[in-house]
Structure 1
């Protein structure tokens, strides 16, 4: 008969503080391993947060998450402002852009930036051509207002969202982008 052993508790530092699952193992072997899985809360209608915080959360087939300002405008801004930053760092930084969960139809039909709409070119005062995303990158704060105004119009007309709620979302978008150092 084997000798009885004291339980051995081992704690390892967990690097990823945002883990979704883990396995509990009985060191004595008397209880089978238990797999624990944490499901993140589903996205809520008109929820505002950093884009990266929506990752891994169910959109319930109802919502899409819209970067405001667009991810491309932010990427252009960051490359221009910090030319020595590596692409992978810039990619991480684009997850720290304010975003809002909106109905799929609003995102696809109304958003100024969905599906490459911000590749449209506009003539500048000096006669040159510039894409919407480059124009947005030149003033991210103004881009937030312009992008949100278009979505807000659809939300008011099609979903009856109040002006108060529209402005509350706008304020939160600006607050998050300021905290991220975008303006």
Structure 2
């Protein structure tokens, strides 16, 4: 239950195509990171395999608009399975082969820490559903 000094925690699930510049997305809720689920590298691998005719410039333009979620920075950095050096080529290939499953495993990896941070089960599951809906709406799967 939020207190007067602690506002209720909410998620922001967004497509970055609706925010310009990108910084506007993260000013809504700080200190946060924008976490692409699946990672941008996995999405790039998917695009390269599925649409080999796309140029690198076209791929980068598409990736800048990929579905994302704003999560607390410390959770992103410490527990995301695709943050920094944890996003190996093997992980990227696995995620690129099944984007829907990648969203599930990426979010499930951080879910216990989101719950520990004060988010409710309903909030996490709603964000999970919103991520899937956004991927479907934008044609990722």
Decide which structure has greater helix share: 2
**Number of equivalenced pairs:** 129
Q: Which residue of 2 aligns with 1:181?
A: 139
Q: Which residue of 2 aligns with 1:56?
A: 23
Post-superposition offset of 1:103: 0.7
Query: TM-score by structure 2 length?
Result: 0.84
Q: Which residue of 2 aligns with 1:110?
A: 79
Structure 2: runs of 5 or more not aligned: 1-8
Q: Which has the higher contact order (CA 8 A, sep 6+)?
A: 2
Query: What does the per-residue CA deviation read over 1:40-81, in whole Å, with 9 as the maximum and x for residues that have no partner?
Result: xxxx95211013445131266511110011100000000000
Residues 10, 123 of structure 2: 8 Å contact kept? no
CA distance in 1, matches of 2:38, 2:13: 13
CA RMSD of aligned residues (A): 1.7
Q: Which residue of 2 aligns with 1:153?
A: 112
Which SS does the other structure have where 1:89 is aligned? helix
Q: Which has the larger radius of gyration?
A: 1
